[in-house]
Structure 1
Amino acid sequence: MKHVEVLIASYLEPAYVDRIRQIDGVRVMYDPALLPQPRYGSDHVGHPLRRSLEDEQRWREYLAEAEVLFDFDHTNLAVLTTLIPHVRWIQATSAGIGQLLIRTGLIAAPITFTTAKGIHAKPLADFAAMAILWFAKDGFRMIREQAARRWTRYCGRNVSGATVGIVGFGSIGREVAKVCRAMGMRVVATSRTLRAGASDSDADQIISVSNLTALLGVADYVVLAVPHTPQTERLLGGAELAAMRPGAVLINVARGAVVDEAALIAALRDGHLGGAALDVLSMEPPAADNPLWSMPNVLISPHSASTVESENNRLTDLFCENLVRYMRGEALLNVFDRKRLY
């Protein structure tokens, strides 16, 4: 019986590897000694790795045999297309892989890519909720006052009754909406697939993507949850930031390229925006002299809002489901759309 050759290309805990091995008709190649070791839980890139010539040869032999990859080989991205002649499907560990595929030339390869769409939606919604509460309750003030051992009472803001504008109403945007609804917030969202004014169980109002400024003008908090595509690059420029309500807070869990960073810095400096919570930036890590580091109304997360301890368990669930589908010749879940780039 012919087996499907599966190569696990980033570190995965042994228990999850065993679950994959239990699928009939699969031969799993996994050698953690040849992989970058994780820097933190659920890390799929790992510490920098320099293999010996012998180890690199062995690793490339695995790549040459593989029909299916769990994750990309981050140690050979620049030449990966030349090393995987038999690969027909790659399961990514991230939802936003479009720019990686373009940079590496993999987008032109005769390979099916499936994303981790949905895996990170709840953790990102948690981050958005945390950011909303942080600014509503003035978390910066609390940190400052505690550090100064100063007890000065103050007045915060209500979250209930405030409006959140969600730009991008896919799996992440919907999870953000559910969390915000639970806090009593009004939800306004833009959607590519729903018509303006459509009734939706997760939103109070759907606004056309082409009418973004209408959302920006009513939202106390704006959450960016769109993929990085040519259409969304610098989606929020100077004019769009100026259209936001005075004192509004921007929360970006999308990609740094979606915002004109210089315009954002200016809007934060002049007081038009009340603050920003940024899980992503235009350059990661940002330069040491990037003003965002030291701005008193900016909360920075090192692109880690989506990473939680349960991630690899959920990724294994998704991969095993897709692996069974692949072997049966059935449609895979989360197939990457080359035209839309997500």
Structure 2
Amino acid sequence: MKILFCGESFPEARRQLNALLPNDEILAFPPEMLGPHIANADVVVPLVTRVDANFIQQGTFGLIQQFGVGLESVDIEAATRHGVRVARIPSEESGNAASVAEHAILLMLMLSRKWNAITAGRREGAQVPWGSPAGQALRDKTVCVVGLGGIGREVVRRLAGFRVRIITVDDHPGRTVPGVEIARSCSLAELTESLAHADYVVICINYTPDRFHLIGKREIDSMKPGVFLVNVARGGLLDQDALLAALRSGHMAGAGLDVYWEEPVDFGHPLFSENVIATPHIAGVTDVSYEGIARAFAENMRRYAAGETPLYLANAPALPRATKPRI
């Protein structure tokens, strides 16, 4: 089969898949060069490229398979209308959720221990007194985890060892994490009120169009002074202008970001002159995550080529495209 990656990022993904799918042709092109290759693709891997009705109509592919979880760049309604199945790889089953959760904790710790101040002092050769600056411990602090899906649950499991007070906000407020005490479980309708109690806010919730700027000026203003915010979900959930204003005013002490309003992001943006720990969408880029996602991806390629129903579908077209994969 011809498997078309809509972008050249995440090269390790393709290396792993080449080993698992030696008889398939795995292609990768930047978005502006995809046009001539869409017609010959059997499977499209969107990454962060917009796959809409126009894109779908250019090909005869029957499956859009994400290498990971996020499908915000895919017009699922248009895919369903054209008989194209859309699938993702669940984060918990692949190991991705555990990797992203570890990164969220890393960002929290770097903010708490004033990593930017430490590295700036070292770069500038400043005579900083030994034993300075003093950091902030996580112990006895309150952490609000927004989203209790796969990543959120993994974050909560790891936070339990730090002896923090945990508040969760979720669209399924009854969800729990076995073995972990959650001080308060809230619905999305209680988001603003829940944020007001937090020393740290960690955004883990799935992105949908109706959640654009879920964390905006009103929500940030409701947070207590000195709060730290971490986003390892999707950039569209967070209003970057409101974040910048809060950092500049000192209302927010710092932010840890792995996802952005546009990707790749321009690190020359004024936001990155503030106390921001910024990483290039690498929270899930680990050996464990890649191995788990690649195995699940390869299994779906096998199922699709054999005419079986792929796993982890996000839609169910009434009349799937009757395209015979080129083997």
Please give the range of the TM-score, normalised by the shorter of the 2 chains: 0.7 to 0.9
Paired residue for 1:102?
75
2:117 aligned residue (107, 132, 141): 141
1:304 aligned residue (258, 282, 287): 282
Q: Are 2:281 and 1:313 equivalent residues in the alignment?
A: no
Post-superposition shift, 1:329?
Answer: 7.6
Post-superposition shift, 1:242?
Answer: 1.1
What SS does structure 1 have at the residue aligned with 2:64?
Answer: strand
Post-superposition shift, 1:280?
Answer: 1.9
Paired amino acid for 1:88: G
Post-superposition shift, 1:283?
Answer: 2.9
What is the 5 A alignment of 1:84-233?
Answer: 84-85=59-60, 87-98=61-72, 100-102=73-75, 105-106=78-79, 108-118=81-91, 119=94, 120-147=96-123, 148-152=125-129, 153-154=131-132, 155-195=134-174, 200-201=177-178, 202=180, 204=182, 205-233=184-212
Query: Higher relative contact order by CA 8 Å / sep ≥ 6: 1 or 2?
Result: 2
Q: Are 2:12 and 1:17 equivalent residues in the alignment?
A: no
1:275 aligned residue (254, 266, 279): 254
In the superposition, relative to structure 1, how do residues 96 and 61 fare at CA in structure 2: closer, same or farther (>3 Å)?
closer
| Residues in 1 aligned to 2:248 and 2:199: alpha-carbon distance in whole angstroms | 18
For structure 2, which runs of at least 5 residues remain unmatched after alignment?
6-10, 317-327
User: Pairwise CA RMSD of aligned residues?
Assistant: 3.2
| Residues in 2 aligned to 1:207 and 1:305: alpha-carbon distance in whole angstroms | 26
Post-superposition shift, 1:75?
Answer: 8.9
In the superposition, relative to structure 1, how do residues 150 and 138 fare at CA in structure 2: closer, same or farther (>3 Å)?
same
| Residues in 2 aligned to 1:128 and 1:15: alpha-carbon distance in whole angstroms | 25
1:231-256: CA deviations, max 9, x gaps? 31111121111111211101111222
Paired amino acid for 1:320: A
What is the 5 A alignment of 1:329-340?
Answer: 332-336=310-314
Q: Percent identity?
A: 26
TM-score (norm 2): 0.79
Could you tell me whether the CA contact under 8 Å between 1:253 and 1:280 is conserved in 2? yes
What SS does structure 1 have at the residue aligned with 2:17?
Answer: helix
Could you tell me whether the CA contact under 8 Å between 2:143 and 2:167 is conserved in 1? yes
Paired amino acid for 1:304: I
Post-superposition shift, 1:107?
Answer: 5.5
In the superposition, relative to structure 1, how do residues 337 and 241 fare at CA in structure 2: closer, same or farther (>3 Å)?
farther
For structure 1, which runs of at least 5 residues remain unmatched after alignment?
1-5, 22-27, 37-46
| Residues in 1 aligned to 2:143 and 2:242: alpha-carbon distance in whole angstroms | 21
Post-superposition shift, 1:130?
Answer: 0.9
| Residues in 2 aligned to 1:208 and 1:76: alpha-carbon distance in whole angstroms | 31
Could you tell me whether the CA contact under 8 Å between 1:77 and 1:104 is conserved in 2? no
TM-score (norm 1): 0.75
Post-superposition shift, 1:167?
Answer: 0.6
In the superposition, relative to structure 1, how do residues 328 and 214 fare at CA in structure 2: closer, same or farther (>3 Å)?
farther
Paired amino acid for 1:251: V
Paired amino acid for 2:294: T
Post-superposition shift, 1:290?
Answer: 2.6
In the superposition, relative to structure 1, how do residues 233 and 288 fare at CA in structure 2: closer, same or farther (>3 Å)?
same
Post-superposition shift, 1:258?
Answer: 1.2
What SS does structure 2 have at the residue aligned with 1:277?
Answer: strand
Most deviating of 11-20 and 156-165: 11-20
What SS does structure 2 have at the residue aligned with 1:228?
Answer: coil
Count of aligned residue pairs for this structure pair: 301
Q: Are 2:82 and 1:81 equivalent residues in the alignment?
A: no
In the superposition, relative to structure 1, how do residues 181 and 330 fare at CA in structure 2: closer, same or farther (>3 Å)?
farther
In the superposition, relative to structure 1, how do residues 224 and 289 fare at CA in structure 2: closer, same or farther (>3 Å)?
same
What SS does structure 2 have at the residue aligned with 1:317?
Answer: helix
Could you tell me whether the CA contact under 8 Å between 1:226 and 1:232 is conserved in 2? no
In the superposition, relative to structure 1, how do residues 114 and 194 fare at CA in structure 2: closer, same or farther (>3 Å)?
same
| Residues in 1 aligned to 2:16 and 2:177: alpha-carbon distance in whole angstroms | 40
| Residues in 2 aligned to 1:270 and 1:283: alpha-carbon distance in whole angstroms | 24
In the superposition, relative to structure 1, how do residues 199 and 308 fare at CA in structure 2: closer, same or farther (>3 Å)?
closer
What SS does structure 1 have at the residue aligned with 2:75?
Answer: helix
In the superposition, relative to structure 1, how do residues 239 and 77 fare at CA in structure 2: closer, same or farther (>3 Å)?
closer
